[in-house]
Amino acid sequence: MRHLLAAVAALSAPVAVAEPPVSAVRVSQLGLEPAAGQRIVVVTRAAGPVAWRVRDDAGRVVQRGVAPAARYAVDADEAVTAIELPRALAPGRYRVEAGGAVSRPVTVAARPFAPLLRDAMSFFYQQRAGVPILARYVQRPDLARPAGHLGETARCFAGVDERGLRWPGCAARYDVVGGWYDAGDRGKYVVNAGISVWMMLDAWERAPAFDLLRDGALALPEARNGVPDVLDEARYEIEWMLRMQLPDGARAIVATPDGRAARTIAAGGMAWHKLGDTVWAPVPIRVEDDHGTRALYPPSTAATLNLAAVAAQAARLWRDIDPAFAARCRAAALSAFAAARREPAVFAEPRFTGSGAYEDAALDDEFFWAAAEIAATTGDPDALRMVERSPFARVSSVATPGWATTGAAGTIAILRHPAAFPPALVTAQRRALLASADAYLSDDARQPYRYPAAPGATQWGSNGDLLSRAVVLGTAWDLTHRAAYRGAARDALDYVLGRNPLDRSYVSGIGARPMRFPHHRFWGAGIDARFPAPPPGALSGGPNSSAMTDPVARTMVGKCRPQTCWRDDARAYSQNEVAINWNAALIWVAAFLDETRGR
């Protein structure tokens, strides 16, 4: 994902497309639920309270009130007040008037998150490698394309890396067909696959009867095969992850702990860290023209533990759906877990060009997650002991789930399956998760724009991180049914859908001012009009004030506030790329909010 400047320096400016001007009334551009408590933010210079009213399509005033005096949003450099609707609005179209400003039409719908969920799930189908993307399953004909990397096999990397270490390569070719392209690039990474698949599977595991994830609910080739569609999509990636596992008896070359030399290890059961290009591919480029050399990169303990965790989770979920597949996943999980324990410190490093590093040198959280999933699935006493002895068994709060911070996934596995774990452990994990959810509520209250993130610098993938916080909040609601947790999760989604300082829906195809020009190899209309615009449902990484490395972001250094360091520009890979982990959080939150509507 972290593209080098050289890969994009020669790109032309994005195509200009007219869009509505910025409004002083900031609201989810998807629409609102027909429930009390919906929030709308208004930019104002008023010194005191701000009167507001809501008019229906016929111009009748249906609600009115007075919002509190504005607060200064330091991360946006503007003063705003927040309206909280005291009563539910009936489904329909409305306008909000406040402080002399009038909103664009605001839609209230019985199930506003349902179409978003379907589009966000389609993102994964359209990221599939190894199969053609067919017009009958996508939103527009121009989104169809031939198969990318059909029948793909690869050898391990041979050559000199960016730190001067020579890798000899290997004679064998490995079958690595399928899976999802990770982001705007066409790399495939076990680590990011892990957290993405976990979120998708957890969305189903928390509500297996949910109608929008059932068989036949989504536009997929596998629809109506007797298996929930969300599991069909997840399995496409899981099958690739299983192919990334080295066979028993395999040996592989990895870097020495100091990174200065290569060494050979017994690698049976481990997972290759990634499959990627040996040099960055140009942007954009069609899959049928993308013939760059690709390679497998050294196995890592992190990738191996991601495989162990997801395979154990899959073994549990497919146990009654497809026992043979479940048995294969269980065997892979146990083999990977044993391999990770044998080689607990094989780390990925940012030493290869052409693909992202996904480096992580702190793996206690991955061991905790994998052990928790294995214990929940198999009852293995050794895995259970590892969970109990982990430092993550004693944390006072959980970190936001992400590819480098997977402890919360282990916590949620424990809380989904409390009977598999000692009561004291379950109580401690519940306490830790609720402590984080309460901290997010405090963050939400501190933010004038009302969203559950701490003030200050924004990072790469800030929108994905925000929605991952909403996963914690949603799980807290599952445990307590406390309305505030669901409200803050909705705040997070409302933020990415337009209730933000840029009046921008960061989801393509959603709202009056959606993201249009993601950094993506195929959805490249922002650079070359011969390529398609993105499909609806792709989430932009979002504002990034802390790692402004691309040529667009570099021009903004020192000139933007944290929540405004974003540009809808295909060259802005540090701010406007898309990725499977961010969209996985989007589908989890959309599914949660729709499934819990009215509660």
Q: Which CATH class is domain 113-138+149-495+581-595?
A: mainly alpha
Amino acid letter, 116: L
C-alpha 506/C-alpha 509 separation (Å) is: 9
- Pairing verdict, β 25-26 and 39-43: antiparallel
Nearest to 477 by CA among 586, 372, 596, 598: 596
**pLDDT of res. 5:** 33
Q: Is the omega angle on the peptide bond into residue 132 within 30 degrees of 0, that is, cis? A: no
How many separate helices (H) and strands (E) can be counted in the chain?
A: 15, 18
What's the distance, Cα to Cα, between the start and end of the chain in Å?
A: 38
Backbone angles phi, psi at 174, to 5 degrees: -115, 140
Among candidate residues 119, 232, 494, 568, the one labeled active-site is 568
> Around Cβ 110, how many Cβ atoms within 10 Å?
11
Q: Spell out the domain ranges in the chain.
A: 113-138+149-495+581-595
Full pLDDT tens readout for the chain, 599 residues: 444 333 433 344 444 558 999 999 999 999 999 999 999 999 999 999 999 999 999 999 999 999 999 999 999 999 999 999 999 999 999 999 999 999 999 999 999 999 999 999 999 999 999 999 999 999 999 999 999 999 999 999 999 999 999 999 999 999 999 999 999 999 999 999 999 999 999 999 999 999 999 999 999 999 999 999 999 999 999 999 999 999 999 999 999 999 999 999 999 999 999 999 999 999 999 999 999 999 999 999 999 999 999 999 999 999 999 999 999 999 999 999 999 999 999 999 999 999 999 999 999 999 999 999 999 999 999 999 999 999 999 999 999 999 999 999 999 999 999 999 999 999 999 999 999 999 999 999 999 999 999 999 999 999 999 999 999 999 999 999 999 999 999 999 999 999 999 999 999 999 999 999 999 999 999 999 999 999 999 999 999 999 999 999 999 999 999 999 999 999 999 999 999 999 999 999 999 999 999 99
Is residue 373 annotated as part of the catalytic site, yes or no? no
Residue type, 229: D
Selected catalytic residue, list 343, 365, 373, 577: 577
30-58 pLDDT, tens digit per residue, is 999 999 999 999 999 999 999 999 999 99
Closest CA to 570 of 81, 77, 3, 189: 3
388 is catalytic: no
3-class DSSP state of 588? helix
- Nearest CA to 29 out of 508, 448, 598, 532 is that of 508
- Rounded Cα distance, 114 and 304, in Å: 35
Task: Return left, alpha or beta for 408; rule: phi > 0 is left, psi -120 to 50 is alpha, else beta.
Answer: alpha
